[in-house]
Amino acid sequence: MKKLILPIAMICLLASCGGGDKEKKDTPATDTKTDKPAEPTADLSSNPDYQKGLELIGGSDCLTCHKIEEKLTGPSYREVADKYAAMPDTIVTHLANKIIHGGTGVWGQTPMTAHAGLSQADAEAMVKYILLLKSK
């Protein structure tokens, strides 16, 4: 019986360590340290609307409910960009007001929290950034 305990313990130890031969696949969708969206392409990174919006969103609580590619509590930024891409320029003001005042019903019944402390200019910069993320 004692002769079986050591081999069983070794098998359990090896099994708990997992398979070291599996490859880890890295996806550059977000920076895990700051949870900021990664820059998808170099041409966008030089766009001042992109830079300003990325900075503002990275410093806000937006990423607790939204991601670039995936629906979380709210829609993904890509879904928002695709939905409003063909709209006139007045959509920026409209969506900025939705960020500041909150809202519900457009993307389901989960309400979007109001961000009353955000200036109109900053909210518009965030919207411009999001609209740049539309599918190509």
> What pLDDT digit, counting tens, does each position of 56-83 carry?
999 999 999 999 999 999 999 999 999 9
User: How many degrees, rounded to 5, is the angle at CA 132 between CA 128 and CA 136?
Assistant: 160
Domain assignment present for 28: no
- Specify the CATH number for the domain of residue 121: 1.10.760.10
Domain assignment present for 88: yes
Q: Which domain holds residue 127?
A: 37-131
Percent of the chain with pLDDT over 70: 69
Residue 89 is predicted with a pLDDT of: 84
Domain assignment present for 8: no
Does residue 107 carry a pLDDT above 80?
Answer: yes
What total of structural domains would you count in the chain? 1
Does residue 85 carry a pLDDT above 90?
Answer: no
Residue 29 is predicted with a pLDDT of: 47
Domain assignment present for 48: yes
- 82, 110 contact by CB (below 8 A): no
Domain assignment present for 104: yes
Domain assignment present for 69: yes
Q: Which is higher by pLDDT, 13 or 125?
A: 125
- 73, 62 contact by CB (below 8 A): no
Calpha distance 37→136 (Å, rounded): 18
Q: What is the mean pLDDT of the chain?
A: 80
Calpha distance 85→80 (Å, rounded): 8
Domain assignment present for 73: yes
Domain assignment present for 23: no
**Across 20-44, average pLDDT:** 49
Residue 99 is predicted with a pLDDT of: 96
Calpha distance 6→25 (Å, rounded): 35
